[in-house]
A and B are shown apart, each in its own frame.
Chain A
Amino acid sequence: MSLTKQTPPLRDVLYAFSLAKETPDAELLEEFARKYPEHASELTDLAIDIIIDVGSSEDVAVTNAVEPCFSPGVSRAMSRFQNRLFEVKRTEAAGPNGRRAQPASVENPFAVLDRTGFRALVKGLQANSLFVARLRDREIDVNTMSDGFRQRVANELSTPLDVVVAHFAAVAQIPPEQFYKADEKPAVKRKCSFEEAVRTSGLTEEQQQYLLGL
Chain B
Amino acid sequence: MARALTKTDQNGALYTRPAMVEAAIDVAFEQDLDTLGRRAWLSDSDDSEFLPLECLVHLVREARRSYDDKAMNTLMPPLLARCEMILKSTIPHNAFPNTEQIREDILGDFSLLFVKDGSDEHPNELDYYECRFHRAFRFFRIGFLRRERALLQPLDPLPPSEVGSNSNDEEAFARVPQAFRSQSTQFGKVLQKDLVRAIDNLPPDERKAVVLRHVLGLKEESDDPSAITAATLSGVTGRTVRNRLTSAAKKLSQFK
Contact = CB atoms under 8 A, between A and B. Distances in A.
Contacts of A36: 10
A165 B65 CA distance: 8
A46 B139 contact: yes
B89 A35 contact: no
Given A53-B90, A68-B43, A143-B62, A81 B112 contact: yes
Nearest to B145: A49
B108 A81 contact: yes
Contacts of B234: 44
A30 B71 CA distance: 43
A106 B66 CA distance: 11
Interface in B76-99: 76-78, 80-82, 84-86, 88-90
A134 to B, nearest CB: 17
B182 A54 contact: yes
Contacts of B90: 53, 57-58
Q: Chain B interface mostly helix, strand, loop or mixed?
A: helix
A13 B111 CA distance: 22
Nearest to B180: A55
A187 B207 CA distance: 69
Contacts of A73: 84, 100, 103-104, 107
Interface string B1-28: 0011001011000000000000000000
Given A44-B208, A49-B142, A56-B196, A62 B89 contact: yes
B211 A48 contact: yes
Interface of B: 3-4, 7, 9-10, 29, 41, 43-45, 62, 65-69, 76-78, 80-82, 84-86, 88-90, 100, 103-104, 107-108, 110-112, 114-116, 118, 125, 128, 131-132, 135-136, 138-139, 142-143, 146, 179-180, 182, 192-193, 196-197, 199-200, 207-208, 211-212, 215-218, 228, 232-235
A16 interface: yes
Contacts of B179: 55
B233 A44 contact: yes
A73 B65 CA distance: 25
B139 A67 contact: no
A37 B143 CA distance: 20
20 contacts: A15-B136, A18-B138, A26-B217, A29-B216, A33-B228, A47-B216, A50-B142, A52-B200, A53-B138, A56-B200, A66-B88, A70-B77, A74-B81, A80-B108, A84-B115, A85-B115, A142-B66, A147-B3, A166-B67, A168-B66
